[in-house]
């Protein structure tokens, strides 16, 4: 996958860190100190369909399909997460119990074009 830089226009992963102390949540979330709420942004013009973050062969297959099916009818595709991982939290619940859980698919590691 590609990480966004300042002037990225194409589909990439935008890093965004939420510091729990900054939002006043450090008293009830014991671990970790923050949440990497990365997100996908950017354009997916025709020639980028199916990349990056997926197997190169997938990209070739998508491009061939677009050519075979009258390319100019195809529209842009969307910039979406292609790799995600869980967010592990150790926190107090409303009865002051201490709970540990892994929330699946909360952190985006890579983005790509559908």
Partner 1 sequence: VAPMGARCPACGLAALDPAAQRHILMARAKQSILAKLRLPGRPNITQPVSRGALLTALGRMHVQRMDPVSPGMSHESSVPHLHPGVGLQEYEILSFAESGSSTSRRVHLHFRFTRELAGNVEILKATLYLFWADPGPGTHPVTIRLLQPDLTGLNMTVAHEARLEVQRAGWATLDVGQAVQSLFGQGSQRLTVELEAAEDWGSPLLAGHSDSHWPFVAAQARARMPHRVQRR
Q: Where are the beta strands (DSSP E) in the chain?
A: 12-14, 17-19, 29-31, 34-36, 39-41, 79-92, 98-113
Nearer to partner 1, 32 or 56 (CB): 32
The tokens describing 35, both together, are 């949440």
Of the pair 33, 61, the CB lying nearest partner 1 is at 33
Dist CA 4 CA 63 (whole Å): 24
End-to-end CA distance of the chain: 13
* Residue 32 sits in the site that holds partner 1 (CB under 8 A): no
Q: Kindly state whether residue 88 participates in binding partner 1, applying the rule CB under 8 A.
A: no
Comparing CB distances to partner 1, the nearer of 40 and 63 is 40
Site for partner 1, rule CB under 8 A: 14, 16, 18, 22-23, 25, 27-28, 35, 37, 39-43, 76, 78-79, 87, 89, 91-104, 106
């Amino acid at each position: 996958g590609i990480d966004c830089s300042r002037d990225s226009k194409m589909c990439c992963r935008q890093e965004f860190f939420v510091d729990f102390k900054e939002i006043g949540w450090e008293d009830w979330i014991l671990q970790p100190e923050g949440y990497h709420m990365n997100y996908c942004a950017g354009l997916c013009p025709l020639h980028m369909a199916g990349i990056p973050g997926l197997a190169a062969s997938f990209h070739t297959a998508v491009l061939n399909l677009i050519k075979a099916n009258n390319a100019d009818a195809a529209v842009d595709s969307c910039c979406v997460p292609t790799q995600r991982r869980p967010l592990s939290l150790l926190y107090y619940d409303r009865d002051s119990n201490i709970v540990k859980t892994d929330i699946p698919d909360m952190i985006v590691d890579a983005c790509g074009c559908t």
